């Protein structure tokens, strides 16, 4: 494993290969309904779906993920604290990615915001470290993440960043006020603004009698030059709507010739005609930056040195944590309602690829709050039962069971506890589904043609490590034609030893199991959703297809056998 690769979902092994399920397969497995329950955020739902449907048969990945999930599920306080911290980090990352709309150099006000951003980042790193240090973390993924956070915290760069930011904040806090000169025209409209000085003390507010009007009305009130001798009194500019100015900017009004000194000229900004003082803060920022060039340069250098390395490095893991946290919240909620979940176990037996006890469809847990109404099933995949021909009554639970098996593999390989009493398995490299297509997708080839093309593509892509789920495949033609295609398809799958569930109404396919198995090391078996007196039990068992016996039960239940119909004649 490459230990420089930090991820709690995708441990890096050079020989690991991932395959992405198709959107159609994700829909066939009911993931859209499940993900709606996990999160109200559409972006999060897409992210969770993408993670679950990115599959690998590498058992090391499944084990790595399920240990991380076990940690996060067992530590609700950790989930709560991490969620709060990652919300803060995500905000910082998004804020840090924003760019100014203009080509101007970033001004001091923006840079000060970024300084606060880095200061907040330091706080987040310290809190994450404290959070993980105080928890009994066992999984390799979280241990590696904790080591990464610790290395960031202990790194010389991080210590230097703390020192630089503290010094910058202290230096910036020395600025308490600025002295500004404003040139005006004959209509007493501001034409330019000049920054005279930056002060370490705030001005003191003068009395009402020392107003500007009093000053210019007094003898000698209007001066012949623009040099300030300190005789004018300071007045706060009223914050009334459009004439409000930035907090901390204080003014001295002066009338006279333009500034001539070169040092001062560099701090003068023109004011557009008719604007008066409306845009003074924006212009003052420009001249303020010039006068504080050393501080501004230090701010820019410090921020560019640290911010990209700092925030992005940790925030890229936020979606991975969100995935585990949303799953843990769901499992915890459903366990509290009485639903059974278990940690999957990897099988090393070459003759067995799945043993499941008490499995059920996760969609049922989403739709129900009463766990007692759930019907569970047991199912194995091995050399004797590689392909199941699943038959039973319409709406008897065939599709529900087919979906449930696919969900077990998705969740287990995603590291999540599965809806079952126990689940042992060999990871699948991918799940292929062959469910009825939407009618608008069959216009060109016709329904049967479209089904044949899709099955050919599925068969070419699947391997002995895959899971294939067929739902009423080849049922859109006559019984004879459909059964002929279905038999050849099942034999082809047996030849590849692909784990398969084929739910169908074609009972004859299950009756011909002996013929299907001839010549293959893998075997097909008949699986039936049992009926009891014409009612559906939703319980699947290995047995010959019921076929006509089920029809007989239904007929007797509703009184339409020949004997019952004619008995009253």
pLDDT tens readout for residues 455-487: 999 999 999 999 999 998 988 777 788 889 999
| pLDDT given for residue 252 in this prediction | 35
**Closest to 195 measured CA to CA, from 105, 278, 269, 273:** 269
CA distance 109 to 91: 19
> Sign of torsion, CA 303 305 308 314?
negative
CA distance 325 to 77: 11
What residues have CB less than 8 Å from 326, skipping those under 6 apart?
38, 39, 44, 48
| Number of Cβ atoms within 10 Å of the Cβ of 157 | 12
Q: What are the DSSP calls for 434-455, one per residue?
A: E-PPPGGGSTTTHHHHHHHHHH
Cα angle 515, 520, 523 (rounded to 5 degrees) comes to 70
Strand ranges across the sheet with 190-199: 252-253, 177-184, 190-199, 268-270
CB 354 within 8 A of CB 467: no
Alpha carbon distance, N-terminus to C-terminus of the chain: 81
Cα within 13 Å of Cα(139), Cβ side: 25
| pLDDT given for residue 251 in this prediction | 36
| pLDDT given for residue 337 in this prediction | 92
Please, what are the domains in the chain?
56-173+298-322 (no CATH), 177-291 (no CATH), 338-566 (3.40.50.300)
Strand ranges across the sheet with 467-471: 431-434, 467-471, 499-503, 387-392, 524-532, 535-542
pLDDT along the chain (569 residues), means of 10: 72 91 95 94 94 96 97 93 82 56 52 72 82 86 89 72 73 69 76 69 57 52 53 42 36 36 45 52 57 64 60 75 96 94 95 96 88 92 94 84 97 98 98 80 66 93 97 84 91 96 91 91 92 66 76 62 69
**Closest to 389 measured CA to CA, from 199, 527, 262, 518:** 527
Residue position matching structure tokens 């020192």: 163
CA distance 459 to 191: 79
| Number of Cβ atoms within 10 Å of the Cβ of 434 | 24
| Number of Cβ atoms within 10 Å of the Cβ of 557 | 13
What residues have CB less than 8 Å from 481, skipping those under 6 apart?
448, 474
**Closest to 554 measured CA to CA, from 528, 534, 532, 530:** 534
CA distance 196 to 181: 6
SS3 at position 371: helix
CA distance 244 to 139: 56
| Number of Cβ atoms within 10 Å of the Cβ of 128 | 22
Helices 140-154/59-74 angle, 10° precision: 70
pLDDT tens readout for residues 303-350: 666 655 555 567 788 899 999 999 999 999 999 999 999 999 999 998
CB 415 within 8 A of CB 48: no
**Closest to 366 measured CA to CA, from 45, 34, 52, 41:** 34
What residues have CB less than 8 Å from 30, skipping those under 6 apart?
361, 362, 363, 403, 407
| pLDDT given for residue 235 in this prediction | 39
DSSP E strands in 145-262: the ranges are 177-184, 190-199, 252-253
């Amino acid at each position: 494993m490459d230990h420089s690769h930090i991820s709690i979902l995708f441990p890096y092994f050079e020989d690991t290969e991932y395959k992405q399920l198709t959107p159609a397969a994700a829909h066939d497995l009911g993931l859209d309904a499940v993900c709606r329950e996990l999160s109200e955020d559409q972006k999060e739902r897409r992210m969770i779906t993408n993670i679950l449907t990115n599959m690998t048969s590498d058992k090391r990945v499944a084990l790595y993920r399920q240990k991380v999930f076990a940690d996060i599920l067992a530590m609700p306080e950790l989930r709560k604290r991490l969620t709060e911290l990652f919300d803060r980090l995500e905000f910082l990352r998004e804020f840090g990615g924003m760019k100014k709309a203009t080509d101007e150099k970033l001004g001091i006000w923006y840079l000060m915001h970024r300084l606060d951003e880095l200061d907040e980042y330091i706080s987040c790193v310290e809190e994450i470290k404290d959070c993980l240090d105080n928890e009994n973390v066992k999984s390799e993924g979280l241990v590696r993440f904790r080591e990464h956070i610790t290395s960031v915290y202990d790194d010389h760069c991080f210590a230097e960043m703390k020192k630089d930011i503290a010094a910058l904040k202290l230096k910036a806090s020395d600025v308490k006020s600025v002295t500004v000169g404003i040139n005006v025209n004959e209509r007493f409209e501001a034409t330019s603004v000049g920054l005279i000085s930056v002060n370490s003390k705030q001005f003191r507010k003068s009395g009402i009698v020392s107003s500007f009007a009093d000053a210019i009305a007094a003898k000698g009130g209007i001066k012949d030059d623009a040099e300030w001798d300190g005789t004018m009194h300071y007045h706060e500019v009223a914050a009334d709507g459009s004439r409000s100015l930035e907090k901390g900017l204080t003014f001295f009004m002066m009338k006279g010739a333009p500034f001539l000194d070169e040092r001062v000229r560099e701090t003068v900004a023109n004011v557009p005609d008719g604007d008066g003082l409306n845009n003074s803060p924006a212009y003052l920022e420009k001249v303020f930056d010039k006068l504080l060039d050393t501080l501004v340069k230090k701010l820019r250098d410090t921020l560019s040195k640290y911010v990209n390395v700092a925030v992005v490095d940790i925030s890229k893991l936020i979606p991975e944590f969100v995935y585990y946290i949303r799953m843990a919240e769901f499992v915890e909620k459903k366990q509290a309602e009485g639903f059974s979940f278990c940690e999957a176990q990897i099988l090393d037996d070459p003759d067995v690829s799945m043993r499941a006890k008490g499995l059920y469809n996760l969609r049922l847990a989403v739709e129900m709050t009463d766990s007692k109404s759930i019907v569970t099933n047991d199912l194995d995949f091995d050399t004797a039962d590689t392909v199941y021909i699943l038959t039973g009554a319409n709406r008897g639970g065939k599709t529900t069971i087919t979906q449930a098996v696919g969900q077990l593999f998705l969740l287990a390989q995603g590291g999540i506890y599965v809806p079952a009493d126990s689940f042992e398995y060999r990871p699948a490299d991918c799940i292929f589904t062959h469910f009825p297509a939407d009618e608008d997708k069959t216009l060109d080839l016709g329904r049967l043609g479209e089904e044949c093309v899709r099955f050919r593509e599925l068969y070419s892509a699947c391997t002995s490590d895959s899971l294939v789920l067929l739902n009423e495949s080849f049922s859109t033609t006559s019984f004879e034609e459909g059964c002929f295609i279905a038999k050849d398809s099942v034999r082809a799958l047996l030849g590849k030893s692909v784990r398969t569930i084929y739910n169908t109404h074609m009972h004859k396919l299950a009756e011909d199991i002996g013929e299907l198995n001839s010549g293959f090391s893998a075997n097909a078996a008949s699986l039936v959703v049992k009926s009891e007196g014409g009612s559906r039990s939703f319980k699947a068992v290995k047995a010959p297809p019921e076929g006509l016996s089920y029809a007989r039960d239904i007929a007797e239940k509703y009184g339409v056998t020949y004997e019952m119909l004619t008995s009253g004649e």
